[in-house]
Structure 1
């Protein structure tokens, strides 16, 4: 199968929450990119593909919260794929730094940021 992913994912496991239809459900963040995230499956979200949800998590050993408005893209046996629709400037700044520290490739990160900006202007 051909890799279609345009944004580098980093493995990053931490407690998170999905806010869906004004209710908040605990989950575990499994990996994240500038364009979305993979979280552990939450049974409440079965059959909710293409619905909107908010992902939020706090960076370990800090009080920094990253909050991302998402669309549920796919639901598998053990995880849920989320696509980022909107992220505030503070969250994207911290997320960029998190990815930068884990990616160890500044050029790749800057290319991905440029693609993200280009995609949001369409």
Structure 2
């Protein structure tokens, strides 16, 4: 689908993520993501199924919780619940089914910073809200 027909703006995001589902975990490379889904390149062969709920963990960075106690670190990550939409030998496309509040806050910032146009994100959020009414 070309970008003009997409309802949600996708951004390139070079990061490794862990995909879990069906009692297995896989390392994947993120090709692109949006507030509505993600396109992954698996590190190896994955036989994903459409009827399985998958979880994706995208670690963003490790930040000190307290500047004076730098040994206490907290991993900042995006946690997504996903449904498989399309599978090709080189990529897996997933629709995001659920995000917690912290994850959507982090994802919003990632999309905003990587799109270069904050108005794109606002349109995406309006589309998402309209779909859920």
Compare the two structures and name the one with the higher helix fraction.
1
Q: How far does residue 60 in structure 1 lie from its aligned partner after superposition?
A: 4.4
Structure-1 separation of matches of 2:83 and 2:11: 19
Q: 1: distance between equivalents of 2:106 and 2:98? A: 14
CA RMSD in angstroms comes to 1.8
CA–CA separation in structure 2 for the residues paired with 1:11 and 1:118: 25
Give 1:71 deviation, angstroms: 0.3
Q: Is the 8 A contact 1:50 1:73 kept in 2?
A: no
Normalization by structure 1: what TM-score?
0.87
- Could you tell me which runs of 5 or more consecutive residues in structure 2 were left unpaired when the two chains were aligned: 64-74
Aligned residue pairs: how many?
120
Which residue of 1 is the match for residue 23 of structure 2? 22
1:73-84 alignment runs, 5 A limit: 73-84=85-96
Q: 1:113 aligns with which of 125, 128, 132?
A: 125
Question: In the alignment, which residue of structure 1 is the partner of 2:13?
Answer: 12
**Where does the alignment leave 5 or more consecutive residues of structure 1 unmatched?**
none
Q: Does 1:31 align with 2:29?
A: no
Query: Any runs of at least 4 consecutive aligned residues in structure 1 with deviations exceeding 4 A, and if so which?
Result: none
1:87 corresponds in structure 2 to: 99
1:44 offset after TM fit, Å? 3.0
1:27, CA displacement in angstroms?
Answer: 1.2
